[in-house]
Structure 1
Amino acid sequence: MHCGYFDNGICRSCTLMGTPYDVQVAGKLAHARELLSPWPDADWLAPMLSRPSQFRNRAKMVVGGTAGNPTLGILDAAREGVDLTGCGILAPGLRAAFAPIAAFIARARITPYHVPTRRGELKNVLLTEAPDGALMLRFVLRSTEPLGRIRKHLPTLLADLPALAVVTVNLLPEHKAVLEGEEEIMLVGETLRMRLDGIVLHLRPASFFQTNSDIAPGLYRQARDWIDEVDARSVWDLYCGVGGFALHAAAPGRSVHGVEVSDPAVQSARLSAAEAGLPDVTFSTGDATRLDAADSPDAVIVNPPRRGLGDRLCATLDASGVSTIVYSSCNALTLARDIAALPAYALKRVRLFDMFPQTEHYEIMVLLTRR
């Protein structure tokens, strides 16, 4: 894949842009194999590959320019807006939505936030696309000042962009380098329905979801297959998010329980389980790192943030009666560190999932069994 933004030095976010895709994947495999070389007996499965372009289901666009002529993209070195609405890694549905959104910003006269002077209102536009094309749109504002105009002109936006299923305003009053604030004002809908392999996951505005809708089902299927292989009757899904792994691991005679620190994500997961008719799949709000493994399940699925599991949870799992751990990681460095902190387990299988083409990042999943 080639990108004019990259070639012209406008955006360098995709550090491997222009590198042949097979070379990208080979480099990621080499990196993962080096990090996991202390466990040479592991069986490496064939990697799951992605489309090299148009794969990303979420756009995080910084708003610049003026109310009459806004830009959606990034900020340059002078902190001025640069348009990236033609970004080739974004799904076509996202790119098609940018023109109606920009027209709406102009119509509602929402002044973009100007970082150098700390003036203006609209900081970011966050857009997510479901596999069926439905969209979630979030306007990140400094205050509620434009809210009345947004409500007034929203019917026109909905008519221009009928794929919109959820529209919100997020408030970020502080001047700091984050994408969103803590307060969300719902304007249209509540959850974006992400249908994967026949299972509907309900995504709320601030909930985490994998950025590649083609690779995410592959992750869930692989975890399910390994859980089925060991015939686990009870499973914990730690850092469960909106319940993707837990819901896919459901099976007759098997109890699955997910734990997640975000209560909105837990509410979404419970809704998905109820709609799917899965009474044996339950969820609770809690800190996975403070888990008490006194009543250990047969298997545990973990999908932690980049920082990994940490010493406390590794120690708890290592001392538990859990027979099988399926560990999905977006950071092979912390994965390797955590495996080393689990000496009671043997690394049996490894599979790389190319969640993020055109970058050095990847997802990796391992199967650990108690020695």
Structure 2
Amino acid sequence: MQCAYFDAGECRSCTLMGVPYPEQLRGKEEALRGLLAAHEGIHWLPTVASRESGYRNKAKMVIGGTIEAPTIGLLGPGARGVDIRECGICEPGLVDVFPALARFIGLARLEPYDVPARRGELKAVLVTESAVGELMLRFVLRSEEALARIRKHLPALLAEVPRLAVVTVNLQPKPAAILEGEREIVLTESSLLRMPVGGLDLALRPQGFFQTNTAIAEALYGQAAEWAGELDPASVWDLYSGVGGFALATADGRREVLGIEVSADAVEAARAAAREAGLERVRFEAGDATEFAEQAASAPELVIVNPPRRGIGPRLAAWLEASTARYVVYSSCNAETLASDLAAMPSLVPTRVRMLDMFPQTAHFEAIALLERA
């Protein structure tokens, strides 16, 4: 894949841009195998490749420039707005909506936020597309100053982009680099974006987490479901459960499945998906994964962990090592922390590992490992 923004030096986020895709995959496979070289006897499953372009289902675009000529993309040197609205790794359905958003910025008189001057209102737009083409749009504002104008002109935007299912305003008053704030104001009737993945009917709320690459997420959940079907545990925990993908994928109507997620929004979305699927033996609770495990009276047969880049950390690793859980499925977006966490759990041996290329054109990837108690 070639990218005009990368070639011009305007955006270098995709560090492997221009590297032939088979070479990218080989490099990632070698990196993963090298990090897990201390573990003998691993059965390496075939790598799951992605589309090289048009794979991202979510775009986090910083707004710069002016009301009349906004930039949609990122901030360059001197906090200058750089327009990358035709980004090639975004799904085409996301790229198609950016011109309408640029027009809406002018219509609603949304002044882009000037970082050095700390002036203006619109900081970013966050757009997510589901597999059925529906969209969630979130305006990140410094204050409520522009809220009335957004409400006034929103019908025009909905008429121009009928795929918009959820529109919100996120308030981020701090001048910090944190992209979004805690308060979310829903402007549409629904606050749930349907996110079907394979045979799962998942749902996403504005501040919930969802995998960036829908096709690879389907393969990831499918792998966990295949292992759970083979192992047939009576009970499963899905720690860092997000919108419930792993929990719902491994539910079969018989086993007890419990998802633990710190985001209350994600928990509500997961509960809605479980109700829609009629899965009465699947529960979701809001809480910290480590604290929940440490306070639990007993462990399930199978624990699924899908932590952020920092990994599960020493406390949860120690708990898993000392627990009675027979199996762990570890889904990792950072192979370095996966390796360090495995070193802290010597009784849980990685027997099968698969690399899934969640992030083509970058050095990042997803790995899923089945750990079995020695």
TM-score scaled by length of structure 2:
0.98
User: Letter of the aligned partner of 1:29 in structure 2?
Assistant: E
Q: Sequence identity, in percent?
A: 57
Does residue 166 of the first structure (1) align with residue 166 of the second (2)? yes
Partners of 2:236 and 2:304 in 1: CA distance = 7
Q: Take 1:21 and 1:269, find their aligned partners in 2: how far apart are those partners?
A: 35
Give the CA deviation at 1:198.
Answer: 2.4
Q: Secondary structure at the match of 1:295?
A: coil
- The reply on whether 1:4 has 2:7 as its aligned counterpart is no
- Residues 48-75 of structure 1: CA deviation (Å, up to 9, x unaligned): 0000000000001110111111110111
Given candidates 329, 353, 356, the residue that maps to 1:326 is 329
CA distance in 2, matches of 1:197, 1:61: 28
Q: Does 1:362 align with 2:365?
A: yes
Q: Distance in 2 between matches of 1:316 and 1:20?
A: 42
Match of 2:270 in 1: 269
Question: What corresponds to 2:183 in structure 1?
Answer: 183
Does 2:135 align with 1:132? Answer: no
- Name stretches of at least 5 consecutive residues in structure 2 with no aligned partner: none
SS at match of 2:237: strand
SS in structure 2 of the partner of residue 264 of structure 1: helix
Which amino acid in the other structure matches residue 61 of structure 2? M
Q: What is the deviation of 1:40?
A: 2.3
CA distance in 2, matches of 1:335, 1:76: 33
User: Is the 1:85–1:98 contact (alpha carbons within 8 Å) kept by the matching residues of 2?
Assistant: yes
Quote the residue 1:346 is aligned against. Answer: 349
Question: Is the partner of 2:337 in helix, strand or coil?
Answer: helix
Q: Paired residue for 1:258?
A: 259
Q: How many residues align?
A: 371
Amino acid at match of 2:305: V
**1:175-324, aligned counterparts within 5 Å?**
175-188=175-188, 189-290=190-291, 291-292=293-294, 293-324=296-327
Aligned AA (2:368) = M
| Deviation of 1:287 (Å) | 1.1
String of CA shifts for 1:8-29, please: whole Å, max 9, x gaps.
Answer: 1110000000000000000000
**1:286-330: CA deviation from partner (whole Å, max 9, x where unpaired):** 111111353211101000111111111111111111000000000
- The 8 Å contact of residues 294 and 320 in structure 1, kept in 2 or not, is answered as no
The answer to whether the Cα contact below 8 Å between 2:356 and 2:365 also exists between their aligned partners in 1 is: yes
Aligned ranges for residues 142-161 of structure 1 at < 5 Å?
142-161=142-161
Q: Secondary structure at the match of 1:148?
A: helix
Aligned twin of 1:60: 60
**2-side partners of 1:370 and 1:261: how far apart?**
27
How much does 1:229 deviate? 1.1
The 3-state SS of whatever aligns with 1:10 is: coil
Q: Is the 8 A contact 1:63 1:81 kept in 2?
A: yes
Give secondary structure in 2 for the equivalent of 1:273. Answer: helix
Aligned residue for 1:78, secondary structure, equals helix
Hey, what does 2:104 align to over in structure 1? 104
Gaps of 5+ in 1: none
**SS at 1:168 equivalent:** strand
Q: How far apart are residue 285 of structure 1 and its match?
A: 1.1
* Contact 2:311-2:332 at 8 Å conserved across structures: yes
